[in-house]
Amino acid sequence: MNNHPFLRFINLVAFDQKIKSLENEKIALDHQIAATRKQEDEYARNLQEARDRVLSSQKKVDAQELEMKSLDQKEKEKKRHLENLTDYKNYQGIKAEIEGIQHQQVEQEKIVLDAWSQLEHAQQALQKKQQDNVQQLSELHERMKELGQKYAALDDECARLIAQHAEMEADIPTEWLEKYTLMRARVSDPVVEIFHQSCGVCSQMITTQDMVRARHGALIQCQTCYRLLYAPEIKEKHTS
């Protein structure tokens, strides 16, 4: 590595930008992982809702069949009572009650059939959703695994680079590091080249005196945006 302070500083800036880029990739992966987990939760919730609909439909079938059995029992009891009657008036009354029960049975049978139809539809929907979820969840699990591996690799690389940071700062003037640290906390591009005797970001013109200093290897602070500026020919000089 070149030991000239200026070049070490420029290398530090590029080094930090690489770390920042990796950290941004980690953030993007975090969002993808969160979105994938949300999809998994949604599939699980939809599947549970389908199960709940089957359970609810089954309860309705059970309740309506129980009502049908109750009507059947009432009909049997009335018919047994009818067999023992000799009084015509009472006979006609019980017979009318039986006919009323039979009418209820016809209506109740329709309700039972409808309840069974709803249960079958709910079971079919559940079965299809279970089949679909097998494929969907398999794809999501594979994606989660892939994202997790990418994240772990980025995390390891970030840790490796961060461990080298102190070494990268060696032999760089303290004043440069202090200004750089301050600007780095404020903007994503704290150090830029001078372009046509002006700041490469905000275009603030640089005085002739500062340009002379920059061409001799000094770092200039922009008077408008406060970014650290350097003359590109100095970088070329030390890398050639």
Token pair belonging to 207: 């005085």
Going from the N-terminus, what domains does the chain have, and what CATH number goes with each? Answer: 7-167 (1.10.287.1490), 173-239 (no CATH)
* Minimum mean pLDDT range among 128-132, 142-146, 235-239: 235-239
HSE of 184, CA atoms in CB hemisphere, 13 A: 14
Read off the pTM: 0.69
What's the pLDDT at 174? 93
**Do the strands 198-199 and 220-221 form a parallel or antiparallel pair, or are they unpaired?**
unpaired
Q: Which of 144, 158, 155, 139 is nearest to 17 (CA)?
A: 158
Q: Which of 206, 191, 193 is nearest to 232 (CA)?
A: 193
pLDDT tens track for 85-126? 778 788 889 889 999 999 999 999 999 999 999 999 999 999
Residue 240's pLDDT band, with cuts at 50, 70 and 90, is: low
Q: Average the pLDDT over 49-62 and give the result.
A: 96
Q: What is the mean pLDDT of residues 13-28?
A: 94
Please give the Cα distance from 159 to 42 (Å, whole number).
34
pLDDT tens digits, one per residue of 142-194: 999 999 999 999 999 999 999 999 999 998 999 999 999 999 999 989 999 99
For 162, the token pair is 């961060």
Read off the pLDDT band of 225 (50, 70, 90): very high
Contacts 24+ apart (CB under 8 A), 122-129: 122/50, 122/53, 122/54, 122/56, 122/57, 123/54, 123/57, 125/50, 125/53, 126/47, 126/50, 126/51, 126/53, 126/54, 129/46, 129/47, 129/50
Residues of the chain with pLDDT > 90, as a percent, come to 76
- What is the average pLDDT score of the chain? 92
